[in-house]
Structure formats: C-alpha cells, structure tokens
Amino acid sequence: MPPAPPRPREIQAEERAAPAPDGAQVTFEWLRWVAEQHLRGCTPASMLASMAAAGLDSATSASVIELVPGNPIFLAAEGQAQLLRKLESTVANLQLLWELDPTYGTVDKRAVVSDDEFIHRYVRGCRPVVLTGHTQDWPAMKRWSPADLKARFGHLDVEIQAERQANPRYEEDKLSHRRTVRLSNFVDQVVAGGETNDYYLTANNEALRRPDFAPLLNDIGSLPPCCNRAELADRSSFWFGPAGTVTPLHHDTLMLFHTQVVGRKRWRLISPLQGPRLYNTNGVFSPIDLDAVDLKQFPLFEGVRVLEVVVEPGETMFLPLGWWHQVRSMDLSLSFSYSNLALPVPNQFTYVNPAPRAVPRPDAVVTG
C-alpha cells in the first residue's frame, strides 16, 4: 500500500497550471504524490485505491496514473531514483554486516580507553560508547545543582526554548521558540514545574561563549581521550531542564561527547546506515518519534535496529559521526557537551541535507 495521500501544506510557491486529461481538475499535490508512488514502485491498483478512498474520480485518477510515467521530467527523476536505490542497497548491505557482530546491540560502558583504542574502535569504527572513568576530579560533580546555578548566575539572562509542547516540530522550528529569561526565574520554573517537555535550556543558548558564564568551565576536570582542552571554551555547551525533556530524532554533523552531571538521560541510537529508512526530508531531522512509532505512516522503519542506553551522572556518551539519536531526560538534568576532539582528521564534515520542498498551494489545480 502506498504512503498516505497528500494533505494541505503551507503555501510556499505560486500557483502554476498544466494540462490534465479530459479537462478534469487534478491538484499539483496529487500529481506529485502519483509521481512519488511510481518512483517507489507502488502498483497502479494501490494508487487508484488510495485516490478513490480520498474521493477522487476513478477515471481521472486512472488517466493520471497512466500518463505520469511517460512524462520526460518523470523519466529524468526515475534515472536519479535508480542511482539512489543502488546507494541505499549498498548501505543496507553494510548495515547487515554491522549487525552480524554479536555485540552490535550493546552500547559499551568503559572506564578506561586508550587514545589508540578510542580512535580505532569508536571513532573510525563508528561505534557509540559511554565513558565512565574520567569525571571523578570534576568540581562540577560536587557543585552543580539548580541552587548553585541560581546562586552564581541567577542574575544573568539566558536563552531557552519555550512553548515546545504545542508544536511537534519544536526543534526544527527552534528559532520561533527562543525566549530570553532571567536564569533565577528559569531555575525556579524547572524545580517547581515537574516533568515536562515544554521548556529547556539547550545547546543553542551559547552561554559558554559569554565571559560571565566562564566559571562553569572551571568546573570541568579531566577530559575523555583525544580532546584538546584549548578548544573547550569554543566547542562546548551547557544544558539544563526538567525531567521529561526530549530531543527528537536527528543526527549531528560532527562527533561529540555529552556528559551527565546531574540526572540521567536515556539515549536511543540508530546507525547512520539506516538513514534511508528514517524519512529524513528536512535538514538533519526525522519525523519518527521513537516513543510512539507509527509503522502505518512510516512503513520503511519496520525492522530498524534501535540501540538504547541510560547515561548516569558522571558518565559521558560519545556520539560517533552520523548516528541518529533521540534523548529523553529521566530526571531534572544538568549536562555538558563538547566537540573538541583532537584527531588525525578534523572533526568537521560536509553534509548535503535535504530541505523542505516548495509546493504550490494545496488547492492549485492543473486544468485542461
């Protein structure tokens, strides 16, 4: 069965018109949908059933389904789709080899890892790992708390994300959720508000680039393998929020560490080789919610292997390149993330990310 038929979308382009069979009216959204189903290999019968169920005229729908594959624009798209399918089959085969490793489903927890092993097994081997042995000398482990934040920095303003629960795309639309608040007021809100995903001080706040928050960096002790301490101030971020905050499924464009100081976080991780099955049509984001996967809406996700690990206070997640992750705070949480790796190659990579497509208004029609 093909994916769900089109729904109205935000107007992002001017109306356009083109001929349709027998003078019938067919929306551009439906024409695009039919083309996409052909590219996915769906049968004409399944497409016709979906269009009929949506109330479209059967004869008109059948004509459109028949005519689209002969369009020269479609033929060009079909050639590119074949190249994409070859690439998808290649990464699927590599993923199969990864999963043959009997330890694939377990995220290692390691107290001590040498630089050489870290680079070989986790950086070049592209495996997530939780490091447990390097934060014993961190002043942050004894000092950081909501009360400490309020006492030392409560007079300062910070940028948070707010009103997240009303928008399922809050992270993709993060610019519209920015709010500047007094930190003392935000600490009180987090402490009193209980479990919620409505507000969160995330990495986007850039607080550690400000001299008045520099004392937080003095609370960081020994670093994991292969880190350049000279770059810590420029390549680190501070996180603070209540239990219940969720960072939705996405991948980063570099490698990083994420240390829990207060509270626990549950990380769910998916191999970068599974990207073609995650419906990534906007930037680095997937619309799939791992807490409530809808296989009817996202059928390609069926069978995707999800790794899971809880990172405890004092532990550090190492996120290899490209790994998809969804993170939930299990408790009130203070965290510190940093990407200052000193490796044989720079921790800087190029991604060509998809962008939301410009579409005509949902009621635009092609007319004969």
Greater confidence (6 vs 249) lies with 249
Note the pLDDT tens digit of each residue in 131-143. 999 999 999 999 9
Contacts of 198 (CB under 8 A, 6+ apart): 162, 163, 164, 165
Q: Given the structure tokens 């994409």, which residue do they identify? A: 84
Give the integer Cα–Cα distance in Å for 113 and 222: 13
Give the integer Cα–Cα distance in Å for 323 and 301: 16
* Percent above pLDDT 90 for the chain: 80
190 strand-pairing partners: none
Provide the residue ranges of all domains of the chain, joining segments of one domain with +: 14-100, 107-338
Does position 25 have pLDDT exceeding 70, yes or no? no
Mapped onto helix, strand or coil, the DSSP state of residue 254 is coil
Contacts of 21 (CB under 8 A, 6+ apart): 60, 63, 64, 67, 368
Does position 126 have pLDDT exceeding 60, yes or no? yes
Strand intervals (E) in the chain: 26-27, 108-110, 129-131, 157-161, 178-182, 236-241, 246-251, 256-262, 265-270, 307-311, 316-319, 324-329, 333-338, 365-366
Give the integer Cα–Cα distance in Å for 237 and 340: 11
Q: What is the mean pLDDT of residues 133-160?
A: 97
Give the integer Cα–Cα distance in Å for 222 and 204: 24
Note the pLDDT tens digit of each residue in 244-258. 999 999 999 999 999
Contact criterion met (CB below 8 Å) for 24 and 368: yes
Give the integer Cα–Cα distance in Å for 51 and 26: 11
Alpha-carbon distances, residue 212 vs 60, 154, 207, 208, 338 (angstroms): 66, 11, 9, 8, 19
Give the burial class of 200: count Cβ atoms within 10 A of its Cβ; 0-12 exposed, 13-18 middle, 19 or more buried: buried
Contact criterion met (CB below 8 Å) for 367 and 296: no
Note the pLDDT tens digit of each residue in 329-361. 999 999 999 999 988 877 999 999 998 765 544
Does position 368 have pLDDT exceeding 70, yes or no? no
Give the integer Cα–Cα distance in Å for 188 and 262: 16
180 strand-pairing partners: 159
Note the pLDDT tens digit of each residue in 42-68. 999 999 999 888 888 888 899 999 999
The phi, psi pair for 79, rounded to 5°, reads -65, -40
Q: Note the pTM of the prediction, 2 decimals.
A: 0.86
Any idea which fold 107-338 has?
A: Jelly Rolls (2.60.120)
Contacts of 328 (CB under 8 A, 6+ apart): 244, 245, 246, 247, 265, 266, 291
The phi, psi pair for 329, rounded to 5°, reads -80, 120
Residue in 125, 176, 168 with CA at minimum distance from that of residue 285? 168
Note the pLDDT tens digit of each residue in 170-201. 999 999 999 999 999 999 999 999 999 999 99
Q: And the tokens for 103? A: 């330890």
Alpha-carbon distances, residue 93 vs 81, 87, 88, 206, 251 (angstroms): 18, 10, 9, 40, 21
32 DSSP 8-state letter: H
* Percent above pLDDT 70 for the chain: 90
pLDDT for position 10: 33
